[in-house]
Amino acid sequence: MLVDLPNARRDAIAARLADGQPVSAGALAAEFEVSEDAIRRDLRALAAEGKCRRVYGGALPISPISAPMAARIEGDQGHKRALARAAATTIRPGEFLFLDSGSTNLALVEFLPEDNDLTIATNSIDIAAAALRRQDLKLIVLGGEADPIIGGCVDAVALQALVQMRFDRAFIGACSVSEEGVGAAQLADATFKRSVIARAERTVVLIANDKLDRAAPHQVAALGQIDMLVVEASASAAQRASLDAAGCRAILVADPA
C-alpha cells in the first residue's frame, strides 16, 4: 500500500488505532514504503494528540479511561463546567483544598470563590498553571515525575509531600464510579488518590454520566468513603438510586444552566 502524503498516511494509521488495532512501526514502514523514522514521527504526533500510546516497536490504541490529560481537556466542556460550578458552591472561605489531576477538576479552578483566602494544592501541571493565573489563590504544587496520561505527579516524591499536609476538602479525579466505588485506570494513580483521601476531612468527586457504571481496573475508594458526588442533572433516577444504595453519603446535582 502506497500513500504519498504524510497527512494521509497519518490519518490511515489513526483510523486503525481508533478501531482498536495495535500497530507496528516496522510493518507500517514496509506497507507505506517509507522509513521507520517517518513512521515513528507519525506515532509521536498521534500520541501527542492523545490517539495512541507509544510502546517499543509501535503503538497501542487508547482506551477511553486512559486517554492522556492533554486529550481530555477540550472534551465535553459544557458538562465539566456545570459540574465544576456546582462543586464550587460547597467551598468555604479559608479552606485548604486539594485538586487532583483531571480535566473536570481543571474546570473547577475558574469557579473557585474569589478573594476567599483559599489555598490550593495540586499534583496537576495544568491545574497549577490555571491556579497560578488567578492572583487571589495561594498555590502549592506537588512535584515529582509528571505522567502524561495522568497529567501530573503520583510518584514517591509526590506522596512524600502529600503526607505532610491535611486538607479541608479534596476533589478526587475518577475514571469510573459505580456501585463498587470509585475507580482509576492506573495503579500508581489509585494509590495516590487513596493517600489524598486519607489526608482530607471531606472528599468530593465530580463525575460525568459517561463515567457512571463504568469499570476501572483499580479501586480508589468505596462510595461510603466519599462525602459527596457531584453528578449531571441528566443522570437517571436509577443511577442515582444505585449510588445511594451503595452507600453514597450525599449527591449534588449539577444544574446544566
Per-residue pLDDT, 196:
98
Cell triple for 218: 483499580
For residue 43, give Cα distances in angstroms to 7, 22, 69. 12, 11, 18
Backbone angles phi, psi at 79, to 5 degrees: -65, -45
Task: Give the tens place of pLDDT for each residue, 165-206.
Answer: 999 999 999 988 999 899 998 899 999 999 999 999 999 999
SS3 state of residue 49? coil
Neighbours of 101 (CB within 10 A): 28
Structural domains in the chain (count): 2
Same domain, 46 and 138: no
Question: 80 and 40: one domain?
Answer: no
Q: Which grid cell is 59?
A: 503503538
pLDDT digits 0-9 by tens, 206-257: 998 888 888 788 999 999 999 999 999 988 889 989 998 888 889 988 887 6
Could you tell me if 222 and 111 lie in one domain?
Answer: yes
For residues 115 and 188, state if they share a domain: yes
Lowest mean pLDDT among 13-17, 47-51, 150-154: 47-51
Q: Does residue 247 sit in helix, strand or coil?
A: coil
What pLDDT is attached to residue 257?
64
User: CATH number for the domain including 207?
Assistant: 3.40.50.1360
Task: Choose the final residue of a domain: 17, 32, 62.
Answer: 62
Domain of 38, CATH number, reads: 1.10.10.10
Last residue of a domain, which of 39, 62, 85?
62
Q: Domain range for residue 220?
A: 72-254
